[in-house]
Each structure stands twice: as C-alpha cells, then as structure tokens.
Structure 1
Amino acid sequence: MRAVIGSSSLRFVLVLCLGAVPCFAAKQTELPAALTRISQEVQASLDRMDSDVQDAANLIALHGLNHDETRRILRALYEKHSYAVDTCTVDIRGTIVAVEPEQYRSVEGADISDQEQIKRLHKTRKAVLSKAFESREGIYAVDLEWPVFDREGEMVGSVSILLRPEALLKSIIAPHMKGFPMDVWVMQPDGTIIFDPDAQEVGLNVFTDPVYQPYYGLRRLAKKMGRSRTGSGVYDFSGTGLEKNVTKQTHWTTVGLHGTEWRVNLVQVISGDPDTAKREFSDLEIIQARDALRRLAKSSTLQRFLSAGQSVEVLRLLQGFYESHPDLYSVMWVTKDGITRYGYPKERSLYEYNHREGLNKDDAVLLGILEHAKEAWSTTTLAGGRDALVYLCPVGSGDSYRGMLYFVRIMPKHK
C-alpha cells in the first residue's frame, strides 16, 4: 500500500479563468480573489496536518514506536483527518512498526526502506512529503513523514500519514465552485493529475499520456504551469472529433509543503460548447477504468482474498473500484469455470450465474474469452435493452489463472 513512485514538494497551482487574459502572459498577473481564497485554505489545511503529524512525532518519541500509547496517538491522528488512508510508525531500518486503523495492520513488518521519501527523510533528517503514488488498493495517495528522535537526539524512525489528496482538495474546492461555471484540476509539476472533477482523470499525465496528445494547447500550457509557480494563459481545446474549438482561460498560483509542489488549475470556458469538450474526453473514463482494473487484477491483495475464499473482502475491493469509477454500470468476478460469482453494485450484477448453462449468445462469447485467458473487449445488451461495453481482465496466468474481473459500461445513445 506504500509503493511510492517518488517524492518532491507539495504545492498546488490553482488555475482560475476570469476575464480576458493574454495567452501565456509573461509578467506577473493579479490573482483573482477566488483563487486567493482557495489557495489560502489549501495551504492552511496542509499546515494543520503538518503540525498534527509533528506533534504526534514528538509525543511518540516519549513512548517508542510500538507502544499502546503510540497506537492511541496514531489512531487519534488518523481520526482527525478524514482524508487519511492510515497512519503508522517506521523504524530507522525502514520497517513499518505500528499501523492504524486496524484494517491495515497486515502491512506491519513491511520493508519500505527503498521508497524515495524514506531515503530523503534519512538523508535530511527533516519532514518530507512524497509525490502521489498508487497504493495496493488502487488509491492515489501521498505520504507525509516526520522524523522521531530519542532523548539523545538520534533519529529512531518516523511517523507517517498516508492521505488522499483528492479528498482533501475536494473538501476545500467544491464549496467554492458550487454554482460557478468553472472547473478545478490539480497536477504535479511533472504533469500527473492529482485532482479533477472527473475522477477518471486522476493519475493520468497531461505531458505523456496518449489520450492528451491531440490537445496541443492544453499540453503546452500545462508544461508552462509545471515550470512556473504562478501565471495565466488561454488555450484552444481542439482535438479529433470536435467540430468546433473550445477556448479555455486559466490563472494559477503555487502553495506548498516541504518543497513538494502541486499545480491546482481552475479553468473556465470562454468560447465554444463546454459539453462538447467533456464528451470528447469521455474516452478517458474508459481508459482510466481499464488501467485501474488491470492493476486490481494484478494486486496481491485480491489474489490472497480469492485464494482464501474471502468473498466479503473481494466484494469490498470491487466496491472500492466501482466507487472510484461511478460512470460504470457494474464490476464483477467470473471464475475460469464460467461462473460469475458476484459483483458490485449487487442490484446490477450477476450472482452465482453459470454462463455454461446460459441461453444468451453473450454467454458463449464470454466463455470463449475465458478460455483464451487474455484481456478483451466485448459488447452486450442489458435486460432493459441498452447496449453496453464490457471489458474483461484475467486474474493470474498459466497454472495460477483464476478467472477474470470485468466491468460493464452503458454505451451513450447517439443522436
């Protein structure tokens, strides 16, 4: 759950589009009031979290990394921040010692010494914040670590809070955006998206992901944002399939914590149909869901639960996947023998359905895909008559092949 991609400094560039702004303005521009308010609230929230982790590190220094009181401190820190995934202590060797809440204690004893933020912490003996990374559960998160020192001033380990930046940012940004025709999306300077109103774009990279390649104006401005701490710009959002260009305007500024930078962008359409642009990006949802299902299918957590017959735990993973991709109709698990055991949500999923006994032609198609044990796309018609797209991804391979995860997504009606 702590497979970190890397670490840098946390700063957000908030892009707000109000009024006419010259494209790629070179000189300092005055920040819109809404942008200032949002950036101040984001910074204040980060500072509070940072102070709380520092306080926890100071208290834990009095008790040790694995004491009953230490667990109480970790639990209180976790409960104080609704966007936290977990909190833990890590010893000087980079081994996880104590974790709260209880549901994540299975990672106690794990060696994370090779993670970038742990190496940086040990080198600087100062607090660090990682870049965003994907946890084993498929959650994009960042890791804030504060060092713990003994009475002689020797560093003995650290206190960590793993948090979901998307949840933190949404709690601050959403109230400001209610009723306004603007969007906020957040990226790291390397182009990785940390927050977006469309959750399916989280984790994609504006600079490098193929789905953004047709949008030259967006990529050009995003690269400028990556280099500059504040600025403004206008770009044409044009791509294959768009009948007319959509022009967007942005402002951005930077906030930060321990040198890690994020760019939070608030964007407004100033000409063209905003719904057209949103429809053009609908492919991102499918690509993101496909990639996420691939990761879930490969996760050791899923395979462990399947091996142990822990259907409740598997369903929780499916629920988490579905809630991260609410545009889907359902997500299900089918064994290599051709039985869809269950899925989420329950009312949209098959349950203990044997496709070998089915009379539907789609059953034969699914069985053929299962036999080949390779990922595949297919189509089906739901009971209500709607056409749907199906993506199937194998779990395991060779002798360890177990079956497939698959999701269903209703196809849009074309006029």
Structure 2
Amino acid sequence: MLFTLGVNHKSAPVGIRERVVFSPDRMDEALTGLIRSTPVEEAAILSTCNRTEIYFRSEAHQPTDRVLHWLADFHRLKPGEIQPYIYRHSEAEAVKHLLRVACGLDSLVLGEPQILGQLKGSYQSAGAAGTLGRQLGRLFQHAFSVAKNVRTSTAIGSSPVSVAFAAVSLARQIWGDMKPLTALMIGAGETIELAARHLHSNQIGRIIVANRTVERAKTLASEFDAEVITLSEIPARLAEADILISSTASPLPILGKGAVERALKARKRRPMFMVDIAVPRDIEPEVGSLDNVFLYTVDDLEEVIQENLQSRREAARQAEEIIDSQVSTFMGWLRAQSAVSTICAFRDKAHTVQLEVLEKANQMVAAGKSPEEALSFLAHTLTNKLLHDPCHTMNEAAREGRLELVDAAHALFKLPSPTDKPHS
C-alpha cells in the first residue's frame, strides 16, 4: 500500500515545520535509515520551507505510526510534539495528495511551479539512495505527467503569483517607488532568484546578493547587475538595505536583533522591510519587535498572496477534475500489478503446452503422416490441453456451489450468457 505522512503550511506553524526539515546533505542518510528502521519498502522525502512529507510503500499493518516515531527520533523530538500537526493519507488519497502537490494545488501560492522542481529533486534523491521502487517510482512519474497536463490545459500558471512575487508586491505597497531603494538578498537559490527578478522588473535601484558560496552568487548577480558579498560582510552592509529578503538553508539564524539595531541606528531610524522565507528561519523572531522594522515570514505572506489568486481559482477547479480522473487511472494500474504474476504464469503454461504439442505434430510429419493430419492433431490436442484445467475447475466449483467462480469465467473468457441463444 502507498502512504503519505507529513506537515505543511496549513497543518503546522513555521515554528513546527522548521523542526522537521531535512537538509539536503542528510537526505541520503534519512532515506536509508527510514528503510532500515521501519517496515517500509520504498520511500521518498519532500522537504521545503512549506512542507515536509514522506511518501512510502509498506505492506505492514498501520506503518504510519512507525514512520511518525522514526521522524520524531531523526529530529530528536518526542512524537507527541509533532503528532497534532501530522496528516496521513493512504492508497487513493495518498495518490491524489501527491498529484495535487505536483500541480501546485496544495501550495501556499495556488499553482506555483517551484514545487514541481522540488518534487523532481526528491525523486532523484530517492533514486540515488536506492529507496525508489516500482510503485513509488511510477507514482512520481505519473505525478510529473499530470502536472505537465494541468499546466498546458488550464490557466493555473498564467498569473505571476509566488512567495517571491508576494514578497515584492508587499514591498512595493510599503515603499511605492523602488528606484531609490537598495535590496539585500541573502541566499542564491530559486526563490531568491525569483524575488530578484521581480525586484529588477520593478526597477529597484540596487541589488546586493549575500551568499555563503560567492561563485553561485556571482552567477545570479550577473543577471541583475548586482553586487556580491559574503555572509560575513552582512553586518557591515546591513544599514544599506531598505528591503531584505532571505532564503538560505542555514540551520541557525544568520541575522540577530543586535545587528539589526545597529543598522537602524546607522540608518537614522529609516524603516527596513524584511521577508524571511527560510525554514528554519534566517532572522531571529525578536527582530520583528523593533521599531521601524517590518518583518514578515512565509506565513505572513498568505494574506498578500490571496489578493493575487482569483484568476487561478477556476483553473484549479479544472485541475481537480483532471486529477480525479488521473487518480483512477493510477489506481487501476496499481490494482493490475497484483495480476501480473498470474498472467505471466498462465502465459508460460500455455507456451509450454504449445511447444509439447508442436513437437509431437512435427514427429508425426517426420514419421510420414500428412500435414493435414498433423495440423488436425495439433489443433485438437492443443485446444483440449488448454481447456482441460479451466473446465475441470469450473465443474468442481459448480458441484461445490462456488458459482462466483463460474460467473467469473463468463467475464474472463467473454462467454455469452447461458440465456443467450445463438443466431440462426
């Protein structure tokens, strides 16, 4: 059976989500540990600022309890600390959940495309760790296909709405004209790149990119004529920032209250607008208590985002219809897998009978029998051998009152109903 277990922006606040994040450098360890420590045969983990989800296959009884305990142990938590925020899905509901996630229908920003790339990263990580088997692998590929279908056949992605877009929209509402402003971008990932792109299109005066890896920051900065600094230079340059957007993978805050207080003093109390998109948070929450600081987290952006969603809602309804249909398609494939071994065994048996009878027919021809006689023998004997076991089993089933097997044979062999009369 297939399962999903996780937390997201709807079920848990950022303070909980940041405690169960899987860093990229520990993903392989997590996946192999999950397989080793629980009755899970296949697994993949998706971990972003808005969600941590474990997709897995298991034939054990109630495996989600074991997986929940593993999740808590891995992050040095007690299961009771995260239990109230956890959701669980199984079989068709688990399939539907993954398809909705892939299409951006479960995102903070309805229809946002970044989640699909993050899912593909999860798929690749699970493949590299050796934890992706036939069923889960097929489910992810199906999800990618459905997401592409939804993108091309609906208007779900027609409006430029994302966490990055919402952050810049809010900055524009607060500041108005952006030409005189300086933006400090901390990090160099996809969300920061999107935010920088939106700032650039809004004619921001200057962009500074701070990142642990300078080379990665230079690649991003070259697109927007931005200046590059290291993370250690932030305190000295912080006072220049009218707008600050941060999204790194740091496990600890990189910007504290003291540094911001000194920057505000140097700015002569001119306001600073900050958006902390990271989970765990990059900016200490106490910074938000300072006068002249407008600090927003990903949770705070939801109200801004709602204002930009109307054009996507009809598209989302169309997408839900597509997903419902595709859930049925995948579940049909999944149910068919249980018959694969039986079909293969049946074909192998028929092939063995075919070879035996063909060999005897060839011997008849070699012994001087006519081809017509050999063909008649081949047809008669092959038919009798193939039909003997099914006919015998149906006869025994009828004697024992197991008429459901006889009814199944009608469907299996596409036989006419006993009441049907042959046409004259």
Q: TM-score range by the shorter chain?
A: under 0.3
- The structure carrying a bigger strand percent of its residues is 1
Give the TM-score of the pair, scaled to structure 2: 0.27
- The structure carrying a bigger helix percent of its residues is 2
Give the TM-score of the pair, scaled to structure 1: 0.28
Higher relative contact order (CA 8 A, sep 6+): 1
